Amino acid sequence: MARARTRLIACCAALVGALALGSCAGFGNRQAAPASGLGPSQQRREPALSGNSRLLASIVDDSGRSSVLLQEQPSGRVIPLRHLRGHRPHSSPALSWNGRYLALLLQQGGQSVAVIEDRLSGQLHRLPAPGGAKLERLSLAPDGQTLALQVLQGGQQRVQLFDLSGVLEPDRPGGQRSSNPTAP
């Protein structure tokens, strides 16, 4: 009798545990991002995924300076970026749906500048800080039609929005994308 009760309690405990795990961590595959290929101690931060899951951008410490690293998933193959090497440090990367646009902050002439690299056309678009404010972070809408900038102005953090629909083509699911992802 006592053994049956113990077994019942154990079953209940297992069921409750399974339910708790299911409600808290009922998620699928969990993995580390693909290796950066820059050494085992390479630190990586500020991840940005493309909407179609093919690309991952992150910031790595390359020779003491923060650089953006763009990789294919899941292979981890590094995709070269034509325009960005000379203007480090980089921060706050963001990718559009198919990864056509890579937006980030970089330093140019002692000032922070928001840039968007169009990997399809090879163009680099610059957006200087509005009103001389310090740029701290950016976000690009998945379709590439809106940009949000976090700026520090007068000691306060503010967010400013910009409409890019007149200057960038939309990058929507199933839409136009680079036929060769290695091409800038």
Partner 1 sequence: MRRTGEQPVALARAALAAAMGLLLSSCGGTLLPIPLTGLNRQLEQAGGHHDPALGDGWLGVIQQRGGRQQVVLIDLKQQLPVPLPGLNRPDALPISISVDARGERLLLLRQLEGRAEVVLYRRSLMSLQPIVMGPGSIPTAVQLRADGRQLAVQVSRNGQWQIDLIDLP
Using CB under 8 A as the binding rule, whether residue 140 contacts partner 1 is answered as: yes
Nearer to partner 1, 1 or 163 (CB): 163
Tokens of 167: 């200057």
Binding residue for partner 1, selected from 1, 5, 25, 109, defined by CB under 8 A: 25
Binding residue for partner 1, selected from 1, 2, 4, 24, defined by CB under 8 A: 24
Q: In the bound complex, what is the minimum distance in angstroms from residue 157's beta carbon to partner 1?
A: 4
Instruction: Tell me how many residues contact partner 1 (CB under 8 A).
Output: 59
Using CB under 8 A as the binding rule, whether residue 146 contacts partner 1 is answered as: yes
Restricted to residues 74-113, the positions that interact with partner 1 (CB under 8 A) are 97
Nearer to partner 1, 4 or 86 (CB): 86
Maximum pairwise Cα distance, the chain: 81
Binding residue for partner 1, selected from 48, 70, 102, 104, defined by CB under 8 A: 48
Residue 55 exposed, middle or buried by CB count within 10 Å (0-12, 13-18, 19+): buried
Q: Which residues pair with 104 in a beta bridge?
A: 115
Of 102, 71, 61, 84, whose CA–CA distance to 182 is shortest? Answer: 71
Instruction: Please tell me the distance from the alpha carbon of residue 48 to that of residue 42, in angstroms, as a whole number.
Output: 17
Q: In the bound complex, what is the minimum distance in angstroms from residue 12's beta carbon to partner 1?
A: 22
Of 29, 57, 55, whose CA–CA distance to 45 is shortest? Answer: 57
Using CB under 8 A as the binding rule, whether residue 163 contacts partner 1 is answered as: yes
Using CB under 8 A as the binding rule, whether residue 138 contacts partner 1 is answered as: yes
Binding residue for partner 1, selected from 9, 14, 159, 183, defined by CB under 8 A: 159
Contact window for partner 1 (CB under 8 A) among 1-9, 11-19, 164-172, 176-184:
164-172
Q: Which residues contact 112 (CB under 8 A, 6 or more apart)?
A: 105, 106, 129, 134, 135
The residue written with tokens 């493309």 in the block is 50
